[in-house]
Amino acid sequence: MSVTAAKGFTAAGIAAGIKENGGADLALVVNNGPNRAAAGVFTANRVKAAPVLWSQQVLKGGRVSAVVLNSGGANACTGAPGFQDTHATAEKAAEVLGDGHSAGEIAVASTGLIGERLPMEAVLSGVGTAAGALSAHGGEKAAIAIKTTDTVHKTAVVESPAGWTVGGMAKGAGMLAPSLATMLVVLTTDADLASPALDEALRSATRTTFERIDSDGCLSTNDTVLLLGSGASGVVPDAAEFAEAVRAVCDDLGRQIVRDAEGASKDIRVEVVGAASEADAEEVGRSIARNNLLKCAVHGEDPNWGRVLSAIGTTSAAFEPDQLNVSINGVQVCRGGAVGEDRDKVDMRFREVRITADLSAGTESAVIWTNDLTADYVHENSAYSS
Amino acid sequence: MSVTAAKGFTAAGIAAGIKENGGADLALVVNNGPNRAAAGVFTANRVKAAPVLWSQQVLKGGRVSAVVLNSGGANACTGAPGFQDTHATAEKAAEVLGDGHSAGEIAVASTGLIGERLPMEAVLSGVGTAAGALSAHGGEKAAIAIKTTDTVHKTAVVESPAGWTVGGMAKGAGMLAPSLATMLVVLTTDADLASPALDEALRSATRTTFERIDSDGCLSTNDTVLLLGSGASGVVPDAAEFAEAVRAVCDDLGRQIVRDAEGASKDIRVEVVGAASEADAEEVGRSIARNNLLKCAVHGEDPNWGRVLSAIGTTSAAFEPDQLNVSINGVQVCRGGAVGEDRDKVDMRFREVRITADLSAGTESAVIWTNDLTADYVHENSAYSS
């Protein structure tokens, strides 16, 4: 499972002493080849954490031999000393991994509180400990070590009948652009593909998966999604089948992240149909998904479709107000911009809530996943850094 | 006080039976002249309530003789029948007010739940009752009748030594673009000015007051701000002094709205300085003010400046990440994009919290007022329509 499901990878997850509670907090994933192809997608936030700046540089070379990930600290907004800390982490990993590894090919990812330096003594000795614990069965432990406010660890695997595998792990409680705790994802594959092909599959997959989950509208400084290719299966995959496998793993992990979102009690699937363009559909879906009032209403199991229309009205998408239709869990409560079926028919007792907004302006569509806004979210995020 | 502070106006506030709890829910404001000049600013939401569509049409004529306002129902997303209800309300007001009034010069404003028709029997008989209760001291009662989730009614007055007055009332728990309960504002003045001059003063005032308060980022379908001029003082004011008086009344009412925001325990003043343009400063201020994670942190009295930087990083404003400075309550906790003074020095016990973000990119600035995100907000908005 996880990042060691595909051949050619070893991983470890250990407690390095970065977290004050003594929990697992450092993961190492190593690509043993024969290939060391890699692709990466990073946060769009212009304030980027040191490990994001570092890893973006590493990815430019198109080769990644290992990834060091830590929870317990984001190493964001830490200036030049924070960047030096990331660099030292990669150097240490190269040193302990030995032959065939150099710091310039080692990616680093961090998650936790912004604005504090990492305890580097713990990090560096942890890298050594993790290297000693590397195993072809270590994927699960690595997935556990990157958790912050996650209540469960998240892994997914797709195995192709053609003989190759895509597996991965994720942590996060929000979107690709999530919340306090960032989304970190490492995917691995033993399919035999060069970096440009991995990059194409990864970008195409994230565009309709991680980029369409939106827990709280807050874009992290640390989001990182990496795809490493070992080529160890010796199989060159069919491009379409491989792209679909990467998409499926991303979709699965993304859904797990939404399901585990901080304080959430409902998963909300916002589908926008009848849009003039996919961009319109996505803009409208995101506006609905980010509406705090609607998210509170869903928490209260209240089919308050007026808040859906109000959210649609703030977008620049093509639509006429009197041609909007909204269904909640299959009941068309708003028809032609006004009252439709009886709202009392809507059953919202279950965790998944489906909202469909029909713009009556075309044939394009998009799905955004989000969650409800709860008092638990407020409690969890009021007390995080103190 | 309120809308009857200026000469030439009468008002009333009564319980018409629109609200199920029997509270005051209908207000009438009448301009007895000699002028009936008027200006209006309405929600930017493309899904507009029937009374907004109606009043925009009335304002095109540049003359308003009366305003009917109701709480207990927004009359939004009610289709053609809802628009006919608004029309009927204006017709009824013209009928009961008699000589010199016509429906086409009577504005209507509504606030409450979206997507339900108003109980028109109650509304129409209420208009008659309100007309019988009109008084030159009725401003206070009118302000009370437009409350929804407001815990206090909101009025403000500026008297010029030159002999004219600007007064007003407001209801709302959010921004000019607020929340479930909409912002409705009626300002009155006895200064002798024609509609274009009122319009200029009103637009200039709302741009830096109501448009810079942002409680929860949710734009209402019903927001309405009206300025009525009776000319009853007989004084033509100095343009700059009048503009400043209108701005001061809007600023005062806007602050009262933020202070009364749903569930809020903190008023947050976000000031952006050192911006390359005022638009940049406003974009950054709004991004900070809308960040749920930061709003939770302020609720928890946690000077979590990393969330400020994270919010700035999502904007398109001109800045360099390593030149950002952030102060919270006067303590510069972030300097040059990294750790500044000790965060333990920040005292956040008081209701007002001041966040200053310095972009180090120019000399422009803007102030946005918002509030914290609390479990009470979630509770209030989970249970609203049920």
Residues A334, A230 within the same domain:
no
Q: Is A114 on the interface with B (CB under 8 A)?
A: yes
Nearest CB to B296: which of A315, A321, A381?
Answer: A381
Q: With CB atoms and an 8 Å threshold, state whether A79 touches B322.
A: yes
CA distance linking residue B67 with residue B26, whole number of Å: 11
Residue A182 annotated as lining a ligand binding site: yes
User: What's the DSSP call for residue A130?
Assistant: H
Structure-token pair, residue A319: 């639509």
In A, minimum Cα distance to B180 occurs at A293
Q: Please give the pLDDT value at position B310.
A: 87
Residues in chain A: 386
CA distance linking residue A343 with residue B14, whole number of Å: 31
Q: Please give the pLDDT value at position B227.
A: 95
- Mutation target vs B (from A114, A292, A339; most B CBs, 10 A cutoff): A292
The number of folded domains in chain B is: 2
Q: Is B309 on the interface with A (CB under 8 A)?
A: yes
Cβ pair A226, A69 in contact under 8 A: no
Q: Is B182 a catalytic residue?
A: yes
Nearest CB to A45: which of B301, B313, B383?
Answer: B313
Residues A212, A356 within the same domain:
no
Structure-token pair, residue B73: 């129902």
Q: Please give the pLDDT value at position A61.
A: 93
Across chain A, mean pLDDT equals 91
User: Which band of pLDDT confidence, cut at 50, 70 and 90, is reported for residue A182?
Assistant: low
Structure-token pair, residue A71: 């929870």
Residue bearing tokens 């400075």: B325
Residue bearing tokens 């070992």: A230
In B, minimum Cα distance to A117 occurs at B339
In B, minimum Cα distance to A337 occurs at B77
**Exposed (0-12), middle (13-18) or buried (19+): which is A95, by Cβ within 10 Å?**
middle
Nearest CB to A385: which of B44, B302, B375?
Answer: B302
CA distance linking residue B80 with residue B103, whole number of Å: 18
* pLDDT tens, residue by residue, A3-42: 999 999 999 999 999 999 999 999 999 999 999 999 999 9
B381–chain A nearest CA distance, Å? 6
Q: Please give the pLDDT value at position B180.
A: 43
Q: Which residues of A touch B82 (CB under 8 A)?
A: 338
> Secondary structure of chain A: what % helix, strand, coil (to 5)?
35, 25, 40
Q: Which residues of B touch A334 (CB under 8 A)?
A: 77, 115
Q: Is A179 on the interface with B (CB under 8 A)?
A: yes
Q: With CB atoms and an 8 Å threshold, state whether B302 touches A115.
A: no
Last residue of a domain, one of B204, B224, B259: B259
DSSP, collapsed to helix, strand or coil, labels residue B255 as helix
Cβ pair B225, B40 in contact under 8 A: yes
Residues A182, A99 within the same domain:
yes
The secondary structure of B146-169 as a DSSP string is T-SS-SS-EEEEEE-TTS-EEEEE
User: Which band of pLDDT confidence, cut at 50, 70 and 90, is reported for residue A178?
Assistant: very low
Q: Is B220 on the interface with A (CB under 8 A)?
A: yes
The answer on pLDDT for A112 being more than 90 is no
Q: Is the dihedral of CA B259, B262, B263, B266 positive or negative?
A: negative
Residue bearing tokens 């996919």: A278
Residues A41, A125 within the same domain:
yes
Residue ranges in chain B whose pLDDT is less than 50: 175-180, 385-386
In A, minimum Cα distance to B344 occurs at A386
CA distance linking residue B5 with residue B2, whole number of Å: 6
Who's near B228: CB < 8 A, 6+ residues apart?
B9, B29, B31, B36, B37, B38, B64, B67, B186, B187, B188, B189
The answer on pLDDT for A97 being more than 50 is yes
A225–chain B nearest CA distance, Å? 19
In A, minimum Cα distance to B336 occurs at A79
Residues B211, B340 within the same domain:
no
Q: Which of residues 235-254 of A touch B (CB under 8 A)?
A: none
* pLDDT tens, residue by residue, A117-134: 999 999 999 999 999 999
Q: Please give the pLDDT value at position A56.
A: 95
Q: Which of residues 23-52 of A touch B (CB under 8 A)?
A: 44-48
Q: Which residues of A touch B182 (CB under 8 A)?
A: none
Residue ranges for the known binding site of B are: 148, 171, 182, 262, 381, 386
B252–chain A nearest CA distance, Å? 26
B9-14 and A364-371 beta bridge pairing = unpaired
Most confident residue range from A326-330, A366-370, B287-291: A326-330
Nearest CB to A310: which of B47, B381, B386?
Answer: B47
The answer on pLDDT for A218 being more than 80 is no
Task: Give the Å distances, CA to CA, from A219 to A144, A319, A377, B57.
Answer: 23, 28, 16, 41
User: Which band of pLDDT confidence, cut at 50, 70 and 90, is reported for residue A255?
Assistant: confident
Residues A105, A129 within the same domain:
yes
Q: Please give the pLDDT value at position A285.
A: 95
Helix H or strand E encompassing A85: helix A79-97
Helix H or strand E encompassing B373: none
Residues B25, B127 within the same domain:
yes
CA distance linking residue B164 with residue B167, whole number of Å: 10
Last residue of a domain, one of A194, A228, A259: A259
Most confident residue range from A117-131, A137-151, A223-237: A117-131
Residues B290, B224 within the same domain:
no
CATH number of the domain encompassing residue A329: 3.10.20.340
**Exposed (0-12), middle (13-18) or buried (19+): which is B379, by Cβ within 10 Å?**
middle
Helix H or strand E encompassing A253: helix A239-259
- Which of A138-147, A215-224, B270-279 shows the lowest mean pLDDT across its residues? A215-224
Residues B313, B329 within the same domain:
yes
DSSP, collapsed to helix, strand or coil, labels residue B351 as coil
Q: Is B275 on the interface with A (CB under 8 A)?
A: no
In A, minimum Cα distance to B174 occurs at A293
Q: Please give the pLDDT value at position B178.
A: 44
Residues B228, B366 within the same domain:
no
Paired with A216 in beta bridges are none
Structure-token pair, residue B169: 């009332």
Q: With CB atoms and an 8 Å threshold, state whether B313 touches A381.
A: no
Cβ pair B328, B355 in contact under 8 A: yes
A292-299 vs B375-382: helix crossing angle, rounded to 10: 70
**Is the pLDDT higher at B335 or at A386?**
B335
Radius of gyration of chain B (CA): 21
Paired with A30 in beta bridges are A10, A66
Q: With CB atoms and an 8 Å threshold, state whether B385 touches A304.
A: yes
Residues of A with active-site annotation: 182
B67–chain A nearest CA distance, Å? 24
Q: Is the dihedral of CA B109, B111, B113, B117 positive or negative?
A: negative
CA distance linking residue A306 with residue A114, whole number of Å: 37
B269–chain A nearest CA distance, Å? 18
Q: Please give the pLDDT value at position A367.
A: 92
Residues B7, B41 within the same domain:
yes
Who's near B262: CB < 8 A, 6+ residues apart?
B149, B173, B174, B179, B180, B181, B215, B216, B376, B377, B380, B381
Query: Interface pTM (ipTM) of the complex?
Result: 0.80
A338-339 and A37-42 beta bridge pairing = unpaired
Residue bearing tokens 């502070």: B5
Domain that holds residue A289: 267-382
Arithmetic mean of pLDDT, A146-152: 88
Last residue of a domain, one of B224, B259, B294: B259
Residues B301, B361 within the same domain:
yes
Nearest CB to B337: which of A79, A219, A319?
Answer: A79
Counted across chains A and B, CB pairs separated by less than 8 A come out at 221
Q: Is A344 on the interface with B (CB under 8 A)?
A: no
Nearest CB to B291: which of A82, A218, A382?
Answer: A218
Q: Is B216 on the interface with A (CB under 8 A)?
A: yes
B232–chain A nearest CA distance, Å? 39
Helix H or strand E encompassing B273: strand B267-275
Cβ pair A154, A3 in contact under 8 A: no
CATH number of the domain encompassing residue B220: 3.60.70.12
